[in-house]
Structure formats: C-alpha cells, structure tokens
C-alpha cells in the first residue's frame, strides 16, 4: 500500500496541507454497513418490477488524517488481523479530494488474514507504483476491444440474421445481443481462453423495463454487481439529471475494473437516451443505442491515452 499513497501524491498537482486516507475492508469485529440495492423481479410475463432491498456488507474502516509538514515526509503503518476463512470482497482505500483507489487482493486460504497498510508521503518518494508503458498497453487494448464491439454492432448482416430468425421485437433484440457478445468474445477471449462478457458487471436499468416505456417515463439507475446482486452506483430522475451517487461504491468498482470511468461514460449515455428517447424497440434501435454508449467509452479511453502520452491507436 505505500505505492498507493505515493502515487496519489504524484497525481496531486498542488501540495496540500493535509490528506485524509480512508481504508475500508472486512473487520474482525464484522462491523457491517447496509447497502441499498435493487433487483428486477418478473411479476408476470413481460412485466418486471424493480424491488428495493438491503444487503449487509461487512466493512472495516479506518480513517487517517495526516498533516503534512512543510518539509520532510509523513510515514506510518497500521496492521490488523481478521479471523475466518471467507475471503473479503469489499475492500477500498481512498484519499479525500482524489478519486483514486486501489484494491488489495486479500490472501485466500488459511484461517485468517493479516493486513498491513503503510504510507510514506513526501516529495522524495521513490516507489513508482506502475510502469507507464503498462498503462498505455492496457488502454490500447481497451480501445481495440471497443473498436471490435463497434464494428460488430454496425454489421448489418448480423442484424438481418436476428430479424429473420427471431423477429424484430424483444426476442430478436436479445438473440441479437447474444450473437454480438459471442462474436466479440471469440475475438477477445479472456486470459484463460474463455469468452469474455461485455460489461456484465455493470448495467443501466430503467425503472420500467418493457419496451412500451417512452421518453420521460423512467428514472434510470446505473448499477454494479457484487456477488450477483446489483447495487445503485448512480440514480437519475426522469429528465436524466443525477439525483444521487455512491462514492464508496464507485471507488470500490474503480479498484475492481480500471475501465470503470469509461464504462460510466457509456452508461450515462444510456441514461440520456432512455430519458430522451425511451427504451429501444427494434434491433436497429438496440444496436444504435449500444453504439452511442460505446462511442462515449471509446472517447474516454482516447483521452486517457493522450493524457498519458501514449502512442495513439487507430
Ligand atoms: Zn451498453
């Protein structure tokens, strides 16, 4: 964890007077926090209802407020032990005023886990946490992937195939989506050679999920999936204006997925479309809906590539 602190300080352009560091993870004491979630439940054929519920997530939190001296550095450490075999899945660290975080993967197996965090903040921190070339490669790979996704959604023969065999309604749209995912994941298998899903851990849910929902009829929610359950990351009103956002959850997902902010740009485009145009009603509308989302995501990664002075990707 010292790399985390130094990295964040490097990101900070202006030298701050003080920093607050918060570490959250599962605790020995099993302090728990209730997260508001929602799930979609089918009440009868073709009609879904969004249902609110709460889930208790074990959290451990320590907050450190560090005053930075004019010269010199701030150092320290803190450790704790947690009993039990279950592997913690919710663990985040964040600095005030900085959106970054890192997730430390806890050890698996054994009967307990030891955590140590240490920090070393100052001008002379000599632990670069990541090779910048690695960053460039990661972003470039995301761009290549999104380009393949866009190309697949633009493929007219795929749309024709789905319409011909499954019709131009909900069934056609869902079979079409599966076929797009199959093609993309065959081109980009995951590290184990398995087909990789398209953003399966994030979703934009309209409160109304049938295709008769028109513009202004739903207040979308961007959700993220933890252990199969969806939690609200951002909620919007029926004009598409942000009503609430969960910063802790955002930090959590940022640590899980380094494409998180790009994916949020994608999902926010869906929010705009759902509130201004309503739910897609045909295969063409579905494809264009996704194309608009992925274009936003692509722009995000291209901006990242430029900010990090990486070689451009076409
Ligand atoms: Zn999408």
Instruction: Measure 240 CA to ligand 1 centroid, in angstroms.
Output: 16
Reported as a single tens digit per residue, the pLDDT across 198-246 is: 666 777 776 554 555 666 667 888 988 887 777 889 999 888 999 999 9
Reported as a single tens digit per residue, the pLDDT across 245-279 is: 998 888 888 877 888 999 999 999 999 998 898 88
Which residues place a Cβ less than 5 A from the ion ligand 1?
Answer: 290, 293
Is residue 307 classed exposed, middle or buried when 0-12, 13-18 and 19+ CB atoms within 10 A define those classes?
A: exposed
Residues 177 and 50 in one domain: no
Residues 58 and 194 in one domain: no
Residues 140 and 72 in one domain: no
pLDDT in the model for residue 177: 92
Residues 283 and 193 in one domain: yes
Instruction: Measure 55 CA to ligand 1 centroid, in angstroms.
Output: 26
Instruction: Measure 16 CA to ligand 1 centroid, in angstroms.
Output: 38
pLDDT band at 145 (very low <50, low <70, confident <90, very high): very high
Last residue of a domain, one of 67, 93, 121: 121
Residues 203 and 232 in one domain: yes
Cβ atoms within 10 A of the Cβ of 48, count? 17
Statement: the pTM of the whole predicted model exceeds 0.95:
no
Domain count across the chain:
2
Residues 99 and 197 in one domain: no
User: Does any domain span residue 126?
Assistant: no
pLDDT in the model for residue 48: 55
pLDDT band at 57 (very low <50, low <70, confident <90, very high): very low
Instruction: Measure 115 CA to ligand 1 centroid, in angstroms.
Output: 37
Distance, in Å, from the CA atom of 27 to the CA atom of 84, rounded to the nearest integer, reads 10
Residues 165 and 261 in one domain: yes
pLDDT in the model for residue 104: 45
Token pair listed for 112? 């307990």
Which run of H or of E encompasses 230? strand 229-236
Phi-psi region of 3 (alpha: psi -120 to 50; beta: other; left: phi over 0): alpha
Instruction: Measure 91 CA to ligand 1 centroid, in angstroms.
Output: 27
User: Does any domain span residue 116?
Assistant: yes
Is residue 243 classed exposed, middle or buried when 0-12, 13-18 and 19+ CB atoms within 10 A define those classes?
A: exposed
Nearest to 59 by CA among 79, 30, 101, 86: 30
Instruction: Measure 292 CA to ligand 1 centroid, in angstroms.
Output: 8
Residues 99 and 143 in one domain: no
User: Does any domain span residue 88?
Assistant: yes
User: Does any domain span residue 273?
Assistant: yes
Residue with the larger pLDDT of the pair 141 and 26 = 141
pLDDT in the model for residue 159: 97
Instruction: Measure 261 CA to ligand 1 centroid, in angstroms.
Output: 14
Distance, in Å, from the CA atom of 264 to the CA atom of 164, rounded to the nearest integer, reads 33
Instruction: Measure 126 CA to ligand 1 centroid, in angstroms.
Output: 40
Question: Is residue 129 scored above 90 in pLDDT?
Answer: no
Residues 69 and 175 in one domain: no
pLDDT in the model for residue 118: 55
User: Does any domain span residue 312?
Assistant: no
Last residue of a domain, one of 121, 147, 177: 121
User: Does any domain span residue 313?
Assistant: no
Instruction: Measure 299 CA to ligand 1 centroid, in angstroms.
Output: 15
Instruction: Measure 50 CA to ligand 1 centroid, in angstroms.
Output: 19
Q: What's the whole-number mean pLDDT along residues 9-22?
A: 53
Question: Is residue 307 scored above 80 in pLDDT?
Answer: yes
pLDDT in the model for residue 114: 54
Domain that holds residue 186: 132-307
Question: Is residue 13 scored above 70 in pLDDT?
Answer: no
Last residue of a domain, one of 102, 121, 140: 121
Residues 82 and 179 in one domain: no
Question: Is residue 143 scored above 70 in pLDDT?
Answer: yes
User: Does any domain span residue 147?
Assistant: yes
User: Does any domain span residue 92?
Assistant: yes
pLDDT in the model for residue 20: 55
Reported as a single tens digit per residue, the pLDDT across 61-98 is: 555 555 555 555 556 665 555 554 443 444 445 544 44
Instruction: Measure 76 CA to ligand 1 centroid, in angstroms.
Output: 43
Residues 112 and 138 in one domain: no
Q: Which long-range contacts (CB under 8 A, 24 or more apart) does 166-170 make?
A: 168/282, 168/283, 169/211, 169/282, 170/46, 170/211
Distance, in Å, from the CA atom of 282 to the CA atom of 231, rounded to the nearest integer, reads 28
Distance, in Å, from the CA atom of 151 to the CA atom of 308, rounded to the nearest integer, reads 26
Residues 256 and 160 in one domain: yes
């Amino acid at each position: 964890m010292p790399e985390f602190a130094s990295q964040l300080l490097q990101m900070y352009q202006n030298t701050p007077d003080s920093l607050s560091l918060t570490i959250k993870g599962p605790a020995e004491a099993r302090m728990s926090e209730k997260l508001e979630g929602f799930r979609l439940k089918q009440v009868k054929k073709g009609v879904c209802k969004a249902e609110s519920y709460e889930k208790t997530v074990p959290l451990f939190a320590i907050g450190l407020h560090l005053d930075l001296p004019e010269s010199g550095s701030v150092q320290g450490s803190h450790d704790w032990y947690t009993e039990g075999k279950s592997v913690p899945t919710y663990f985040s660290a964040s600095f005030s005023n900085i959106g970054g975080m890192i997730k430390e993967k806890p050890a698996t197996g054994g009967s307990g886990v030891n955590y140590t965090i240490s920090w070393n903040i100052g001008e002379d921190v000599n632990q670069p946490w990541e090779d910048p070339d690695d960053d460039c490669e990661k972003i470039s790979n995301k761009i290549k992937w999104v380009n393949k996704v866009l190309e697949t959604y633009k493929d007219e023969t795929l749309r024709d195939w789905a319409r011909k065999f499954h019709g131009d309604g909900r069934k056609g749209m869902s079979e079409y989506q599966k076929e797009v995912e199959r093609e993309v994941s065959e081109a980009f298998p995951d590290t184990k050679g398995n087909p990789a899903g398209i953003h399966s851990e994030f979703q934009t849910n309209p409160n109304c999920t049938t295709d008769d929902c028109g513009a202004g009829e739903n207040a979308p929610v961007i959700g993220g999936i933890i252990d199969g359950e969806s939690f609200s990351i951002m909620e919007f009103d029926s004009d598409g204006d942000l009503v609430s956002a969960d910063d802790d959850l955002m930090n959590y997902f940022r640590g899980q997925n380094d494409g998180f902010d790009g994916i949020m740009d994608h999902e926010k485009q869906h929010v705009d479309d759902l509130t201004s145009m309503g739910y897609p009603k045909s295969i063409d509308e579905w494809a264009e809906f996704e194309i608009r989302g992925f274009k936003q995501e692509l722009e995000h990664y291209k901006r990242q590539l430029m900010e990090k002075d990486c070689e451009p990707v076409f």
